[in-house]
Amino acid sequence: MHMHELSESASQTAEEVEALLRQEYEESAPSFLSSIDLAAYARKIMGHARIAGLRADGTLIAFLAFYCNDPERRLAYMSMLLVRSDYRGRGLARRLVQQSLDYLTQAGFLVYRLEVGKDNREAIALYRAMGFTETGEVEGASLYMERRLSQDDAGREDGPAQQAASLKANVVANYGGQIYMTVANLAMVPLYLHYMGAEAYGLVGFFAMLQMWFQLLDLGLTPTMSREMARFHGGATDILSLRRLMRAFEGIFVATALLGAAAIILAAGPISSHWLKAQDLPLSEVRHAVMLMAIIIALRWISGLYRSAIIGLERQIWLNGFNVAIVTMRAVLVLPVFLVAGSSPTHFFGFQLAVAMFETAWLVRQTYRLLPLARHAGALRWELAPLRGVLAFSLSIAFTSSVWVLITQTDKLVLSRMLPLTEYGYFTLAVLVAGGVMLISGPISTALQPRMTSILATGDARGVVFLYRKATQIVAVLCVPAALLLAFFPREVLWAWTGDATAAAHAAPVLSLYALGNGVLALSAMPYLLQFAAGKMRLHVIGGALITVLLIPALIWGTSRYGATGAAYAWLASNLAYLLLWVPLIHRRFMPGQHMQWLAADICLIAAPPMLAAYMLHAAVALPQDRLMLGLSLAAIGLLLMALAAAASSYARETCGYLWRRQLMGLARQG
């Protein structure tokens, strides 16, 4: 098929344009053609508009008409975009829009406007993907959209390559932010132990656990908000409906936060005197700390709604920069407070409250800056009606979130009641380090959720599966080596990090098992992305219910008999069972016939080489005792394990080969 590039209006005749319009009218009778004289319209645009046309075998099969008759304001207007029905789905509409963008940019135009029917979701998705934003609507029937132009737009292709680039940018930004936040938090823990002591640090662990249990009140609204923002970004909904949904969510979040914080404050006395086993800290200090925790948790929970909205809009580069600033304030800037004011739990949590207030206010501001204005009658009121369309999905997510909290936090809740606060501090230390495995996979999931939802909204199911399998390999390459390093060398990692031999001895057995369990969890959690994108959570809900029924009794029994180590064994066994027994059923529904390929090629083949290497190194290599040299040795082992995993990944090999060939081509051009 031969395609003509952007041409003057003389390249097509009015008869050709009319014939294409008439064929469209006869096949589908669209409303926008029913009220116009096709012959007169064809003559009009041929005489006054510019035409970007595409031909196949000499026949006009697509055209875009746009007006450039407002040079003073440098404003252009798209009048008509039409692709013959048998040539749709080949990217021709995107190509025509890009041709018009190139022409207008080179001609110095600043604004490109159009009008599109609200029911034309594919066109809306295309225009949004190419940078157009909504500016209003016409009596509920159509939308006004526009795009600001600049010289940087010339020749830019906002197609699959650009989308892939933006996804990679989001993943890189997520990893950059996550790496910094993880390093900052981990680097400060030895200082917290030094200034606050192990018992007070146990309160920090209790705070983290309490914050997770507070997520039971989420009702699935946070991930639902992210999904609806992604659907809006993909053209599946309009801005007015989205803003109404946002207002409904805000009312629920604020009310629930107030009630939840009040409940924790009222229970602060019994928690400090009967639940927690403080030995050296005054009960009044523990009670004040719990009360401060309640307010901080409520504010952070509210801020989660706005974080999810920004994630759904795929503004993750900005969000990660903001998160880096917040983590710096939380983790690093608290040190001057320790040095000047004091290092008691009240000082620590009082400072965290000030940061949480700033964080929430700024996220609210940024979310509303990103959302286009909606034209409507009067101010938006809070109402329950917008929730009805997302209630089923939200409740399934709510159940899923509840299951997740029950699975990941029951051990911590039980141990907070059974262990002295000092021992609980050591347990918190082990879980924090093991949680680094999940933090590695988190940025990929965060970037993929809105992107997979947006792709599926356009009907590209094969593209979703392709992206899903690539992401699984990336998670395996990154998470499996980290889990193996922590599992085979737990005491060495803790000693090199904290310099506290007592803490390393207490936390090492728990760290080893939790690290392996988290590595399995990072992989078995991947199918959740497929179900989330499709909005079909039934299998996830059933699987979560089954694993909860099995895990909770095992955690309680293991914790009561063997303490933290028993909980760690139950955690590892439950995650292995889910991966091997339930994930195949999910794949049978969402990507039939590919589960064994996924398990063998995307996981097992990648995990086997670093697992064998870790076992051999642990058995045969004597590591140095000096903390610096030990840290360098562990880093080298980690890099070796990751290199072995990457070498076994087909996607990693293809990517490295592509980058290598491109580098050679660049050197050849320079030569």
Domain of residue 91, CATH code: 3.40.630.30
In the predicted model, is pLDDT for residue 622 greater than 70? yes
In the predicted model, is pLDDT for residue 7 greater than 80? no
Number of domains in the chain: 2
Residue 160: pLDDT band (50, 70, 90) is very low
Q: Are residues 346 and 252 in the same domain?
A: yes
> Is 382 part of a structural domain of the chain?
no
How far apart, in whole angstroms, are the C-alpha atoms of residue 330 and residue 327? 5
Residue 467: pLDDT band (50, 70, 90) is confident
How far is residue 525 CA from its own chain's centroid? 13
Most confident option among 26-35, 80-89, 208-217, 271-280: 271-280
**CA-closest candidate to residue 408, choices 578, 568, 560:** 568
**CA-closest candidate to residue 210, choices 292, 141, 128:** 292
Most confident option among 78-87, 243-252, 294-303, 556-565: 294-303
Mean pLDDT taken over the chain: 82
In the predicted model, what is the mean pLDDT of residues 358-362? 95
Q: Are residues 285 and 246 in the same domain?
A: yes
The 8 Å CB, 24+ separation contacts for 251-260 are 251/382, 252/219, 252/221, 253/221, 253/301, 253/302, 253/305, 254/302, 256/217, 256/219, 257/298, 257/299, 257/301, 257/302, 258/298, 260/214, 260/217, 260/294, 260/297, 260/298, 260/301
**CA-closest candidate to residue 158, choices 189, 126, 187, 181:** 126
Q: What is the dihedral of CA 445, 450, 455, 458, to 10 degrees?
A: 160
More confident residue, 408 or 251: 251
In the predicted model, what is the mean pLDDT of residues 164-187? 68
Q: Are residues 652 and 514 in the same domain?
A: yes
pLDDT of 241: 76
Q: Are residues 416 and 524 in the same domain?
A: yes
Mapping DSSP onto H, E and C, the string for 505-526 reads HHHHHHHHHHHHHHHHHHHHCC
In the predicted model, what is the mean pLDDT of residues 476-482? 95
Residue 393: pLDDT band (50, 70, 90) is low
More confident residue, 67 or 371: 67
pLDDT of 157: 46
In the predicted model, is pLDDT for residue 576 greater than 80? yes
In the predicted model, what is the mean pLDDT of residues 562-566? 84
In the predicted model, is pLDDT for residue 308 greater than 80? yes
Q: Are residues 100 and 180 in the same domain?
A: no
- Write out pLDDT tens, residues 624-639: 989 999 999 999 999 9
Q: What is the dihedral of CA 161, 166, 168, 172, to 10 degrees?
A: 160
Residue 347: pLDDT band (50, 70, 90) is very high
pLDDT of 444: 77
Q: Are residues 55 and 129 in the same domain?
A: yes
In the predicted model, what is the mean pLDDT of residues 493-508? 89
Most confident option among 27-41, 161-175, 237-251, 525-539: 525-539
In the predicted model, is pLDDT for residue 598 greater than 90? yes
Residue 656: pLDDT band (50, 70, 90) is confident
Domain boundary among the residues 117, 150, 183 is at 150
In the predicted model, what is the mean pLDDT of residues 327-355? 93
Q: Are residues 503 and 627 in the same domain?
A: yes
**CA-closest candidate to residue 591, choices 534, 669, 523:** 534
- Helix spans in 197-315 (H): 198-213, 221-233, 239-266, 268-270, 283-312
In the predicted model, is pLDDT for residue 583 greater than 80? yes
Most confident option among 4-8, 523-527, 653-657: 523-527
Residue type, 216: L
pLDDT of 154: 45
Question: Percentage of residues in the chain with pLDDT exceeding 90?
Answer: 30
- Write out pLDDT tens, residues 401-418: 677 777 778 778 888 888
Most confident option among 24-33, 239-248, 418-427, 591-600: 591-600
In the predicted model, what is the mean pLDDT of residues 504-523? 93
In the predicted model, what is the mean pLDDT of residues 573-601? 91
In the predicted model, is pLDDT for residue 336 greater than 50? yes
> Is 351 part of a structural domain of the chain?
yes
pLDDT of 409: 81
Most confident option among 302-311, 368-377, 545-554, 609-618: 609-618
How far apart, in whole angstroms, are the C-alpha atoms of residue 405 and residue 384? 27
In the predicted model, what is the mean pLDDT of residues 81-94? 83
How far apart, in whole angstroms, are the C-alpha atoms of residue 654 and residue 29? 47
Q: Are residues 245 and 345 in the same domain?
A: yes
In the predicted model, is pLDDT for residue 510 greater than 90? yes
In the predicted model, what is the mean pLDDT of residues 71-76? 78
Residue 606: pLDDT band (50, 70, 90) is very high
- Write out pLDDT tens, residues 362-391: 999 988 887 766 555 456 677 777 777 666
pLDDT of 372: 65
CA angle, residues 479, 482, 483, in degrees to nearest 5: 85
Most confident option among 19-23, 62-66, 292-296, 647-651: 292-296
> Is 638 part of a structural domain of the chain?
yes
Q: Are residues 57 and 202 in the same domain?
A: no
pLDDT of 512: 96
Question: Percentage of residues in the chain with pLDDT exceeding 70?
Answer: 86
**CA-closest candidate to residue 218, choices 395, 49, 9, 54:** 395
Q: Which two tokens stand for residue 85?
A: 């029905």
Q: Which two tokens stand for residue 583?
A: 């994930």
| Structural domain harbouring 296 | 175-360+393-659
Q: Are residues 124 and 201 in the same domain?
A: no
Most confident option among 176-180, 432-436, 529-533: 432-436
Q: Are residues 143 and 213 in the same domain?
A: no
pLDDT of 35: 60
Q: Are residues 141 and 218 in the same domain?
A: no
> Is 341 part of a structural domain of the chain?
yes
pLDDT of 46: 84
pTM of the model as a whole: 0.61
Mapping DSSP onto H, E and C, the string for 591-616 reads CCCCHHHHHHHHHHHHHHHHHHHHHH
